[in-house]
Amino acid sequence: MSFQTWTKRIFQQIKGDNPFDGDCLPSRVPLFALGRPTSPIPLPWNYKEPIKIFEAFYSGTKNETGWGKHNRYLYAGGIPPVLVTRDPGIIKAIQADTGDKPGQFDRDTSPTAGIARATGEDSLLYANGSIWRRQKSLVAKPFSRSNLFQPQKFHGFEQTFRKTVKERLDVMRSLQVSTGEGKTRVALDSEIKVVMLEMLVNNFFGASVSYEELRDRYVPALVYMIDHMVRDTVAPRAQALARKFSGSEKTLQNHQVAFEDLTNIALAGRAQELGLWKEFKSDASDDALRSNIRVFLAGAMEATTSFATWAISHLSRNPEWQEKVYEEVKEMDIYDPDDFTGAPNLNQVLEETLRLTPALCFFPRRATVDTWVETSDHRRMMIPKDTHIRLDVWHSNRCEEFWGEDVTGYRADVFAPERWDVMKEKGLNAKEMLHFGFGHGPRFCPGRSLGLLEVGLVVGAIVKLFKFEAVHDHTGPSAGVSTKPADGVLVDLELRTDKN
Ligand code: HEM
C-alpha cells in the first residue's frame, strides 16, 4: 500500500466519509461499542466464533433504514474497508462477478492463509487468476454429475457404504446387548467423519485403506490439521511459540506425516486408473496435483461431515420429519441414484439444512479495482479497490426479511422443510431464492454432485436403520473451516430393524 493511499484512507476515516458509492450504501460499524456479542475484529479470544464476529457487525442497526442495516463496513487504521453483507442481492452479484477476468473480484486469501500453508498455494480453493482457471478445468470431468451418477460408479459407493454401516451397526448391537439397554447414547459426528473419509479415499480415489486405519490415524490427523490451519491463520507466530513451549511440535509433525501419507495413497491410484482417476486426463505431474488432493481430502471430509451432521441434528429434534423421511426410504433401495433423486422429503430436508445451517458460513472476496455491482432488482453499489468482502450467507439465510413468514410461510430462523412447498406454491423461482449452500457463479463448488450423493446416502441410511432423538433441546454452531452442531450430534439411538 502506498503512503498516498494510506493517507487518503486515514483522512476519509477521520472525516467519516463513506468510501462506497451507489443507492444501497453500506453503513459504518464503530470500532468500539458497548453491548455487542464480541468485537467485529478477529482476535485470539474470538477467532473461533466467526458467526458471532459477523453478528457484531449488525449490532446497533435497529435504527438504520434501508440497505445500511444489511450492508455494513468497518474502516480504520488506514487499512482498506471490510464489507460484511447479508444482502442476498449483493451476495449474488459479487459471487457472479468473481473470477479471472480483468476487474472481477478475487477470492480473498487472508482468512485462509493457514490453509494455503498446509495444503499449497496453487490449489483450486486458494488460487486466483489463471492458476485457478487451470485447476478448475482439470477437475471438471471427474466431478461432473453425469459422470458420478453412472450406475456402475454409484455401485462402488454403495459397496463401501453398506460395509461401513454394517460394521457400525454391529458395534451398536454389541453395545446394546452388553448394556441391556434398548437405546445407545452416541455422538454421531465422529462416526460420520470416518464414513465420509472412507467414501472419498476408497471410492473416489480408488484406494483400499482399512476402516480402522482411517478412524485411528487419518481422521485424527485431518481433524488436527484443520484446527491447526485455523489457528495458523489467525496467530501464526503465537501458535508456533505455544507449540515450542508446550512441546507439541512433535504432535504436529506426526499429523503432517499422516496427512502426506494419505495424499500419497490418494495419488497412487492415478497410475493404475483406480476409482475416478480413470476420468482424469491431464499431463500435469503428480506433484502439480498435490495441493488439490490435500484440499479435497481435508475440505471434502469437513464439508460433507458438516452437511450430514446438521441434517441428522435437525432430524433428531424433528420426529415428524424423521418419520416422513423414514416412510419414504424404508422400502426403497436408497442406494439407487434414481430412487435417491426421487426422494422429495429427503431432498427437502437437505435443502432446508443447507439454508439454515450452511457448511460454509461466509465466502471471502476482495475487490481488485473500484468495482460497480448491480443486483437483479437494479440496485447499484461501488466497492472500492482492495476492500475485504465477507459474504455472510449464515445471517442472510436467517434474515426474516428475506426468508421469513411473509415470504416462505415460516420463520427464517427455524428448521421448516415445509417452506419449500409454500415457496413452490407461490411460484418463487429457485434462481432468485438462493441459499448459496454450494456457492454461486464461477467459484461454485465442483464437489456438489459428489457431496450430495454422499450426504444423501449417509442421512438416508441412518434414518432407515435407526430412530434417533437429540439429548439436548438445542445446539448452537461451532465454526472452524466449516460449521457443525456444537453438541457433536449427541443422540439416543434405537435400532429400527436388525435385518440389514
Ligand atoms: C456436500 C458438501 C459440500 C458443501 C456444502 C460445499 C460447499 C462449498 C461452497 C459453498 C463453495 C464455494 C466457496 C466460495 O464461493 O468461496 C465450495 C467450493 C469448493 N468446494 Fe465444496 N462443498 C461440499 C463438498 C465438496 C467436495 C466433496 C469437494 C471435493 C471433493 C469440494 C471441493 C470444493 C472446492 C475445491 C471448492 C473451491 C472451488 C473454486 O474456488 O473454484 N466440495 N464448496
Q: How far, in Å, from the CA of 123 to the mean position of ligand 1?
A: 12
Rg (CA), the chain: 23
Q: How far, in Å, from the CA of 448 to the mean position of ligand 1?
A: 7
Q: For residues 401 and 172, what is the distance between their CA atoms, to the nearest angstrom?
A: 44
Ligand 1 binding pocket includes 126 (Cβ within 6 Å): no
Q: For residues 5 and 41, what is the distance between their CA atoms, to the nearest angstrom?
A: 22
H-run or E-run covering 381 = strand 380-383
CA dist list (Å): 440 to 3, 147, 286, 433, 437: 37, 21, 30, 12, 9
Ligand 1 binding pocket includes 204 (Cβ within 6 Å): no
Q: What domains can be seen in the chain, in order of their start residue?
A: 3-126+365-391 (no CATH), 138-364+392-495 (1.10.630.10)
Whether residue 86 contacts residue 428, with contact meaning beta carbons closer than 8 Å, is answered with no
Name the pTM for this structure: 0.93
Per-residue pLDDT of the chain (500 residues; tens, 9 = 90+): 788 888 989 998 999 899 999 999 999 999 888 889 899 998 878 888 899 999 999 998 888 888 999 999 999 989 999 999 999 999 999 999 999 999 999 999 988 888 889 898 888 889 999 999 988 888 777 677 666 666 666 666 666 666 666 676 667 667 766 766 778 888 999 989 998 998 889 888 989 999 899 999 999 999 999 989 888 887 788 778 888 888 788 999 999 999 999 999 999 999 998 888 887 878 888 888 899 999 999 999 999 999 999 999 999 999 999 999 999 988 876 555 556 667 899 999 999 999 999 999 999 999 999 999 999 999 999 999 999 999 999 999 999 999 999 999 999 999 999 999 999 999 987 777 899 999 999 999 988 888 888 898 889 888 988 899 999 999 999 988 899 999 999 999 888 864 44
Task: Please name the amino acid found at residue 176.
Answer: Q
Nearest-5° Cα angle at 119, 194 to 142: 65
H-run or E-run covering 71 = strand 71-74
Q: Whose Cα sits closest to atom 26 in ligand 1?
A: 447
CB atoms within 10 A of CB 148: 21
Ligand 1 binding pocket includes 75 (Cβ within 6 Å): no
